[in-house]
Structure 1
């Protein structure tokens, strides 16, 4: 009974936090990620980690509301259990909340079957002062963070920002897909359409001005300017047109 009551109370609190979340934001895509330095729990030990430690790598930094809650452990555990998939992309993952490193450690040392996190493969950052959360524009008026996800590239630039209502957990699959997509665009200079996954088709950017003039040349070859009748083509002319079409598309 008390568990149901706690769950309902938490739902009301987090819903209120989402409603009163400050909409005025300062952090933007393609800006350098705000630097940070704070204590984290890594392998059940306290260590100071900095954003600078991850220079040259991709980084997924995700904030969650509070320790010992309900939706949060499902996300943290999945990120932790699947961190190898991110590391294969040379991408690290950090979880963060306003709780202390002592609270993080206590939660980690609590078995999963009892509502704890158990063994963790990712650092849990302690943002006790809330400065990091405020720098990343994800602090609610209630004093804890909304569910926020940031993808920071190897140059330290923010490539993705998402804020989620506290009542619904994130998709680790989607975060992984986004990292793969951003890295693909970095490497090949192409853009990825909706729902792109590794091995899927991409869009090659080209000069639209050049496309326009090539198209005009093709139309002049295909139609007579005087009477708009088809021109009789030789095999050589047909070959030229096919090459032009291939160059355009």
Structure 2
């Protein structure tokens, strides 16, 4: 698994769907020098755990927007599958009402670039392509800053849903550090005391003299 922390987020141009509109040339580059990005991968449209995550991101979208964060989803499904799922009512297993973009990684190049692609491709002795498992994305999530640098990443196996609360907490921690230069200890929450990255700062945080 590649560690992308501190590196430029892999750039791409692909089709995406937002509400009922198909975007032909979608790129995260549009957010450079403007917005933070939470870019998350999920395995498949029309499944069970995935819609709980996509709906939860939508429910918290105002919180992300308040923090100047763009939310973008991605799977290896086509734009046609995304469009159909977005136009299927929630009570029928759809994600109608989701308003942030969903990228179509049908060629699996984006999942590969972010190193979240499950399954293994091999070439046998006869030169034939063999695949073990399904070539779909794990539940990867990447927090990208306004300069396009990955500052946080987490990858879950397919049965394991993520925490939107933790995602927002990490956004708050990054923005606190950028604004005040203070580092944020374990389980830090917005509004709590942080510390400077030196012995005095640690001592003050712990209540020392």
Q: TM-score range by the shorter chain?
A: 0.7 to 0.9
Query: Quick one: higher RCO (CA 8 Å, sep 6+), 1 or 2?
Result: 2
Pick one of 123, 129, 137 that aligns with 1:145: 137
Q: CA deviation at 1:27?
A: 3.9
Q: Which has the higher helix share?
A: 1
Aligned partner of 1:95 in structure 2 is 73
State the TM-score, normalized to the length of structure 1: 0.72
Larger radius of gyration: 1
The answer to whether the 8 Å contact 2:19/2:86 transfers is no
Pick one of 22, 32, 44 that aligns with 1:55: 32
Q: CA deviation at 1:207?
A: 6.6
- Report how many residues are paired: 187
Aligned partner of 1:66 in structure 2 is 44
Distance (Å, rounded) in 1 between the aligned partners of 2:60 and 2:199: 40
Aligned partner of 2:130 in structure 1 is none
Pick one of 180, 184, 187 that aligns with 1:188: 180
**RMSD after superposition:** 1.5
Distance (Å, rounded) in 2 between the aligned partners of 1:43 and 1:117: 10
* SS of corresponding position for 1:205: coil
Aligned partner of 2:87 in structure 1 is 109
4+ runs of 1 displaced by more than 3 Å?
Answer: none
Q: Which moved more, 1:148-157 or 1:198-207?
A: 198-207
Q: Which has the higher strand share?
A: 2
The answer to whether the 8 Å contact 1:81/1:121 transfers is no
State the TM-score, normalized to the length of structure 2: 0.86
Aligned partner of 1:127 in structure 2 is 105
Distance (Å, rounded) in 2 between the aligned partners of 1:76 and 1:147: 12
Q: CA deviation at 1:26?
A: 3.1
Q: Which moved more, 1:74-83 or 1:199-208?
A: 199-208
